[in-house]
């Protein structure tokens, strides 16, 4: 298995122990209480809604650092991008590995723990071919990840970490939140596992859009030096491999190569 160096500390930012979000929440509600007391509900209620929307926005925006540091772009100036492929392993994985090899490209596969446990041979092959393996939660609770409590959030992150470490012998360094969402309970398990959260700055909703040309055209518009590109495998429309193949062709034509953060 090719050795992969540790990423730069400036990129791999593990959350620190912090209760800043809690103090901010309490302070905001004190302001709301004061406004409600002094000015009445017509002022207090809208202010309360604004406060809650602000904290909700921090949970639902993938690049928000409200609940801990998040990496969404690599600090490089040449035409290299970080390909990230979510939701595997799947029936697409081995074909994608052959496709990446054919283009001399590397990617990080953010894997779901339950799916990895069911297909450990694919996980080992990803690592053996020199690609990154990242944590994408144990069960991928897509509809409610943003609202998980502390115990369930810890289980999702720690169990996936344990599953992937047991299969590959190496603990993942990167975590991709489900749908990119977060909440105040993400940071503690990430800190304990030594994980840094990764978002993206180039996406085209390839998991739900089924037209490869349209998906790749949008991604092409969002490519830039250091972009983190969000892709998926095993999508229900069955065209994930076709989309990634077309993207790799367009990247080659535009002079873009791939890079893993560990290679910087």
The question of whether 52 is a catalytic residue gets the answer: no
Q: How far is CA 131 from CA 31, 83, 147, in A?
A: 49, 10, 31
Contact 186, 68 (CB under 8 A): yes
Contact 15, 187 (CB under 8 A): yes
The question of whether 86 is a catalytic residue gets the answer: yes
Which residue of the set 12, 73, 86, 136 is catalytic? 86
CB atoms closer than 10 angstroms to residue 213? 10
Which one, of 204, 138, 225, 234, lies nearest residue 177 by Cα? 138
Which residue of the set 73, 131, 181, 232 is catalytic? 232
Q: How far is CA 264 from CA 15, 27, 90, 187, 248, in A?
A: 21, 41, 29, 25, 21
Asked if the bond preceding 105 is cis, omega within 30° of 0, the reply is no
DSSP 8-state code for residue 227: B
Phi, psi of 141 (to 5 degrees): -75, 80
Contact 191, 15 (CB under 8 A): yes
Annotated catalytic residues are: 86, 232
């Amino acid at each position: 298995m090719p050795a992969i160096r540790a990423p730069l500390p400036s990129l791999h930012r593990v959350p620190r122990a912090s209760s800043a979000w809690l103090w901010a929440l309490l302070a905001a509600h004190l302001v709301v209480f004061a406004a409600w007391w002094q000015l009445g509900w017509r002022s207090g209620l809208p202010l309360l809604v604004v406060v809650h929307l602000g904290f909700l926005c921090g949970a639902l925006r993938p690049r928000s650092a409200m609940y801990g540091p998040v990496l969404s772009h690599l600090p490089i100036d040449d035409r290299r991008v970080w390909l990230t492929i979510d939701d595997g392993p799947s029936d697409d994985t081995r074909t994608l590995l052959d496709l990446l090899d054919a283009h001399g490209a590397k990617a990080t596969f953010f894997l779901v723990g339950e799916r990895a446990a069911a297909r450990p041979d694919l996980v080992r092959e990803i690592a053996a071919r020199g690609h990154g393996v990242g944590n994408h939660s144990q069960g991928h609770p897509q509809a409610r990840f943003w609202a998980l409590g502390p115990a369930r959030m810890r289980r999702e992150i720690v169990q996936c970490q344990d599953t992937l470490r047991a299969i590959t012998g190496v603990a993942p360094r990167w975590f991709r939140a489900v749908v990119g969402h977060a909440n105040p309970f993400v940071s503690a398990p990430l800190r304990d596992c030594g994980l840094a959260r990764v978002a993206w700055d180039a996406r085209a909703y390839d998991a739900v859009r089924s037209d490869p040309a349209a998906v790749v055209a949008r991604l092409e518009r969002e490519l830039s030096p250091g972009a983190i590109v969000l892709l998926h495998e095993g999508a229900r429309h069955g065209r994930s491999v076709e989309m990634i193949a077309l993207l790799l062709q367009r990247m080659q034509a535009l002079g873009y190569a791939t890079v893993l953060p560990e290679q910087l």
